[in-house]
Structure formats: C-alpha cells, structure tokens
Structure 1
Amino acid sequence: MPTFGFVVLHYLVDDATTQCVESIRKHCAGGDYHVVVVDNNSANGSYERLRERYAGAGDVTLLHNAANEGFARGNNKGYEYCCTQLGCDYIVTLNNDVVLADDGLMRWAVADYTATGCAVIGPDIISGKDGDHQNPMSAVVDSPQQIHALRKHIRRNMLLLRTHLYGVFKQLKGDAGCGRTPDNAASFAREHAAQRPCVPVKLHGSCLIFTPAFLKAFTEPFDPGTFLYMEEDILVLRCRRQGLTLYYDPRIVVHHAEDVSTEAQVNYDPRRKQINYLRYHRDSLRVVEHYV
C-alpha cells in the first residue's frame, strides 16, 4: 500500500479536529499513513491542547502558522511537509469538521488512480446540516462573462448588507417567487449524480485526494493567492492546463459538519459572515482571472 498523508487544517475547534484525526486513525488502521495537523494561529489554546494530546504520537505531526494563512496557504504548508518530509504518494486535504465514514478511502483511491490515472479524487461528502451530497459540484467559473456576472452579484449584495437592506431584499425576492414550484428536478439530479462515479467538472474542497499524477505536476495543491473560496474552480483550471482529470467516487464517504470553525469565533455575527464571504469571493475572482 502506498503512503498516504492526511492534511487537517485546524482553526479554533480542537474537539472537531480531534474527531477528524481519530476517524483517520480508526479507518486507516493497518495502512501506511500519517496525519499532519496545520494550525492557522488559533490563539485560543486549542493548538496547545492538540499538541499535548498527540505528544509522542508516531502517526500525527502538528505544524503551527504564526498568522492565519487561510485555506489555500494553510493546506499548502501541510502538503509540502507530506511531500518533502514524509515522501507521501497520496495526499488528502480535509477540513477539520470532516470525518471518514468507513475503511475504504485508501483502497478505493489507489484503485481509482490505477484505473483512470486521475489527478484528484473527490468522495461522497454528506452535509451534517441538511444531509445533502456536496459532490459533484456545479459548473466551474471559467469565462470572462461568468466572472463579470459574479462580480456584479457580489457588489449588489455587499451594498445591501452594508446598508442593512439585505433582509428586506431577500424577503421581497421570496414574495415575488411565491407560487413557484420547488426545483425538485434539480434536487433529484444532484441526488442521482451522487450515486455514480464520474469525471466531474468540480469537486468540493472540504475533502480532496491528490494522487501521484497531481503530486508529480504540482508543488502546491492550491493557488496561494486566495484566502477562502473558489479554490475548487481554480483547481479545475490548473488541472485543465496540465491535461489532468478530476474524478468523483461515491464509494468513498465522509461526513462534513460545515462552518464549525467560523461559528466558533468570538462575537460571531451572521451578517459579518456574509460580508466576509462576499469579500473573499471578490478577492478570489482576481485569481480566477489569471487562469481564464
């Protein structure tokens, strides 16, 4: 069995990170694996608690960033460690609120790569909020027209949020949509797509499996120019440039709690979260433009 490196990006919530790490240890027992936890400067004592918990553990390494480097650069640090220090053949990046559901990840990943030569594998990611299947995702942003439309959408919603009119707008939009039938067809299509393997357009970033084909082509899994969001679109564009494919395998199953670290922040404010969400998307769009 090849060597697997699991990069767990930690921020604030050590209970979630511990559950993630322990799920890897449980479901990969007997395999050749190593867990690398990257702390994004949590500054709430959680990193120290994790360091104490896993002191002396031969299968877990903790790395610490002096500042919050965001999703891309935080994962890149763990990926580099797996490549240069551990000599991993496969590298899995996981949000700390993701847990493995069964023992199949390593076995199926090797089988998928052997059969298809794919560069990135996405599992069936089941949301802990609504039970939705988060893979495969919808179409990638890969044209100037899409970038322009998304930028326009962001500007409008940023203005509404800053003037405290977003709620009114959503309410009016909801009233205007009364009488429409739910998009059951789209919901069924997503559910049906989650049942079968495919070469998708885009894979959800909360859990990604990078194969030897990717490791050979890239020294970093994510463009370091982003802080949060749109990494999935950029990953597709980077792979496309190299002629590499992304593959979805529903046999590999993980559970994703979602937003655990975000909502653990002091003075958590849903409105501020929406503003940050849009601001980070706006910044990431500038990176996407470099690939379009």
Structure 2
Amino acid sequence: MKQLRTYVITVNYHGSADTANCLASLERSTVPVKTVVVDNTPDDPALEKALSPFENIKLIRAPENLGFGRGNNLGIDWALQQPDCEYILILNNDATIKADAIKRMEAAMDTHPEAAIVTARIVLAEDESKLWYGGGEVDWRRGGSQVPGVLGPAAAPLAMQSRHVSFASGCAMLVRREVLERYGGFDERYFMYEEDLELGLRLTNEGWKIWYEPSAIIVHKGQGSLRREQGSRFIGAWMPDNPNLSFYAYHIMKNRLLTMKQYMKGKDRIRFYVYFPLFLLAKLFRFALHRRWRAIQAMYDGWRAYRDEIRKAMP
C-alpha cells in the first residue's frame, strides 16, 4: 500500500454539491490522501448529507464565515498536528482533480527540493481545452498577479512548459509541511483575494521557489476572479456588470495595497507608484460611467481599511 503523504484542505461555503464533486475526484486519486473539509457555513445542513457517501473525511466547522485564508488555516493547523502529513494541498471546493494530479505534484516536490509550493495546470470545467492557470507571475504595475494565456488554449506552449513561477493560484497549491510550520499559512488580514499572492511572495522572499507542473491537471468551474453567467459567458471581475463588484473592489483594494507595501522593492516600487494610480483612475471613471457608485465607495472603504491595518501595525 502506498504511503500517505498529502493532506487536502478544501473550504465549503454554501457549496455542498461542488464539495461533493471535489471529494469524489479525490477518491479516484492514484495516491492516498486525507481530506479536511472546513465548513464556513456551520448552519447549513446540506453539507452533512453531501459528505455522507465519503469516508476518511475530517470535517471542521468554523464558528462563522472566516473567509478563504482563515478557513484554510483551520484545516492547515489540524493537518500539521498529524505526524504523517508531509504536504498540504490547498484545493478550491469547486475544483476536481485528474486521478494522477497529486501523484505528479508529489513527484515534482521530490525532484525540486528548492520548491516551497508546487502548482498544477488548471483548466476550465466548462471546456477543458481552455486554460485557467498555466503558471503565473506577480504584476507589480497593478499590484496583483497575471496568468499568461488565461482562457486561451490549455495546451499552449507556455502552459505546457514546467518552470519556476512567481505566483501560485490558491485554487490548487501543494505546500511543504516544513514551510507552513516555519512561516505560517495564509495572512489572516486577507478575508478574500490576493492571499495566495501574499503567501507566494512571503516564501520566495525567504529564498524558496514556486514550481509549475503542467502534467498535473486540475479542473475548475471558474467562479473566482472571473465571474460566470449564462453558461459559457465570463465577466471580468472588474467589469461594471459583475454583480459582486463592490465586494471584489473592497477586498482587492485593501489587499493589494497591503501586499505591495510589504513586498515591493526598487524598480517594482516605481512601476507600482506610476501605474497603479492610473489603473485606479480608469476603473473609477468606468464605474462612474455605469453609475456603480457603491463600487466606488467600496474602493474608498478598502483604502481606509488598508490605512487602518497599517496604523494597527505601527509601534
């Protein structure tokens, strides 16, 4: 029998059907895994019914909706108490794995001891020939991340190239136990968005690397940074017709400012200070044109929340 090396953490929030599909795919893994489900909706009885067909599941109920980072940290903390946990796979509950994905990610960890994180090629559930993530980089101009070829061909040459990258998507990232023990999990100031970017920067600043392994394939429904509507239509998260625009704008504003203040250096700092104000002005103009006044207010509130976090950190 193969040795258990990987614990999988997935967070549920009003998504019991997606979570069940995720767990079903994990049962088909060619290497053994232990799955931890963190329920951010403890008052939702549908999850227990959805979990009933599955064995070897650890369910942790959060006292409230803790968001992505804090929810995952609950599962990480429990997994790190288990002596047979060597790696932790952070996996979105609306994602499924190809049967050999974790095996290939573990093999990449073995081959690349310099890697704190191994990330996979992520394709869209609606059309697996389209790419969701094929390796990503920090976008210092806009304070976020960029994924070359997103929504393009999943078999594009760059997407098929294994390599070191500077950004790992939180949709699916395999992290070494020793790294989480030494540097901690997700920054709990980030309720939603950019926590994966911050974690990657924290680890690469300590000299670790991020390895992208395209032979490991994850299938994602694509309801994160790009909003899905009416089947195959995608709405950019910054688009005025995004129904969750205000929520997105608030958290992106706060979290990008926090991340950039902590990690930008030298030329990257110059790029950010020159380009980011222009980026914001373009968004504000577009929101005003479409009368998305709440989104404009949310951006201001996000800036104030960032300012408050900085003040709290001052001696």
The structural deviation recorded for 1:132 is: 2.6
Q: For 1:217-270, what per-residue CA distance to the aligned partner results, in whole angstroms no more than 9, with x for missing partners?
A: 3331x111101111232122101221000001011111001228x98xxxxxx6
Give the AA of the match of 1:14: S
Task: Tell me if 1:191 matches 2:163.
Answer: no
Structure 1 counterpart SS, 2:35:
strand
Runs of 4+ in 1 over 6 A off after TM superposition: none
Whether the aligned pair in 2 keeps the contact of 1:12 and 1:42 (CA below 8 Å) is no
Correspondence for 1:244: 208
Correspondence for 2:170: 205
- Which structure has the higher relative contact order (CA within 8 Å, separation 6+)? 1
State the identity as a percent.
Answer: 21
Correspondence for 2:262: 290
Structure 1 counterpart SS, 2:190:
coil
Correspondence for 1:173: none
The structural deviation recorded for 1:215 is: 3.5
Equivalent of 1:133 in 128, 131, 134 = 131
Task: Tell me if 1:46 matches 2:43.
Answer: no
Q: For 1:94-117, what per-residue CA distance to the aligned partner results, in whole angstroms no more than 9, with x for missing partners?
A: 1111111122422x2232122211
Task: Tell me if 1:232 matches 2:204.
Answer: no
Give the AA of the match of 1:198: R
Q: Distance in 2 between matches of 1:8 and 1:271?
A: 25
The structural deviation recorded for 1:201 is: 2.0
Structure 2 counterpart SS, 1:253:
strand
Relative to its length, the structure with more strand (as a share) is 2
Moved more, 123-132 or 87-96: 123-132
Whether the aligned pair in 2 keeps the contact of 1:141 and 1:233 (CA below 8 Å) is no
Structure 2 counterpart SS, 1:125:
strand
Equivalent of 2:110 in 108, 114, 127 = 114
Q: For 1:167-210, what per-residue CA distance to the aligned partner results, in whole angstroms no more than 9, with x for missing partners?
A: xxxxxxxxxxxxxxxx99x9579822111211112122111111
Structure 2 counterpart SS, 1:232:
helix
Whether the aligned pair in 2 keeps the contact of 1:51 and 1:62 (CA below 8 Å) is no
Whether the aligned pair in 1 keeps the contact of 2:37 and 2:60 (CA below 8 Å) is yes
Structure 1 counterpart SS, 2:157:
helix
Equivalent of 1:69 in 66, 69, 84 = 66
Whether the aligned pair in 1 keeps the contact of 2:18 and 2:94 (CA below 8 Å) is yes
Whether the aligned pair in 1 keeps the contact of 2:101 and 2:218 (CA below 8 Å) is no
Structure 1 gap segments, 5+ residues each: 151-182, 264-269
Matches within 5 A, 1:266-277: 271-277=242-248
Relative to its length, the structure with more helix (as a share) is 1
Q: Distance in 1 between matches of 2:95 and 2:202?
A: 25
Correspondence for 1:89: 86
Structure 2 counterpart SS, 1:194:
coil
Q: For 1:109-164, what per-residue CA distance to the aligned partner results, in whole angstroms no more than 9, with x for missing partners?
A: 2321222111101111001245432223443144xx644xx8xxxxxxxxxxxxxx
For these two proteins, the number of residue pairs brought into alignment is 243
Q: Distance in 1 between matches of 2:119 and 2:168?
A: 6
Whether the aligned pair in 2 keeps the contact of 1:136 and 1:202 (CA below 8 Å) is no
Give the AA of the match of 2:33: Y
Correspondence for 1:217: 182
TM superposition score normalised by structure 1: 0.73
